[in-house]
């Protein structure tokens, strides 16, 4: 089973910005923890981060062809603005779980609406970096229960 983890804009700055919302772990540290979790689950994991909406859409489209079984995605700021990422997720028809380190419901009004979540099978928010591992485990469990083509 192959899982793709996508991170959107400014996620490369984790550990250096707004620790009160995002904690102190860096993106490479989060990825290292996910590699350990993926190994324990017996799945392959790949990481992609971009500050560019089109690049994220392109990577989701490529996932349709490269054997990706599931996606964990933190669209970051694009959560609230990107119909394009929503449409890419919907078109790909690859089960995805949306992750947010902060509780988007407890932040600015404009952050409370996710345009991308309706194209996902679930959303985890407010649990910091732990949300990524929870999303990975839930996604693998869901995929393992579904018949594969």
Active site residues per annotation? 22, 100
Phi, psi of 2 (to 5 degrees): -120, 125
CB 72 within 8 A of CB 96: yes
């Amino acid at each position: 089973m192959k899982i793709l983890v996508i991170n959107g804009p400014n996620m490369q700055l984790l550990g250096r910005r707004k620790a009160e919302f995002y904690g102190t772990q860096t993106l490479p540290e989060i990825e290292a923890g996910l590699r350990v979790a993926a190994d324990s689950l017996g799945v392959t994991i790949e990481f992609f981060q971009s500050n560019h909406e089109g690049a994220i859409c392109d990577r989701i489209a490529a996932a349709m062809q490269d054997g990706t079984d599931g996606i964990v995605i933190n669209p970051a700021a694009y959560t609230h603005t990107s119909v394009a990422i929503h449409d890419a997720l919907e078109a790909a028809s690859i089960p995805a779980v949306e992750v947010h380190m902060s509780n988007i419901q407890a932040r600015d009004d404009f952050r409370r609406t996710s345009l991308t979540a309706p194209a996902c099978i679930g959303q985890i928010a407010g649990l910091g970096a732990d949300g990524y591992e929870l999303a990975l485990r839930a996604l693998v469990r869901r995929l393992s229960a579904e018949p594969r083509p």
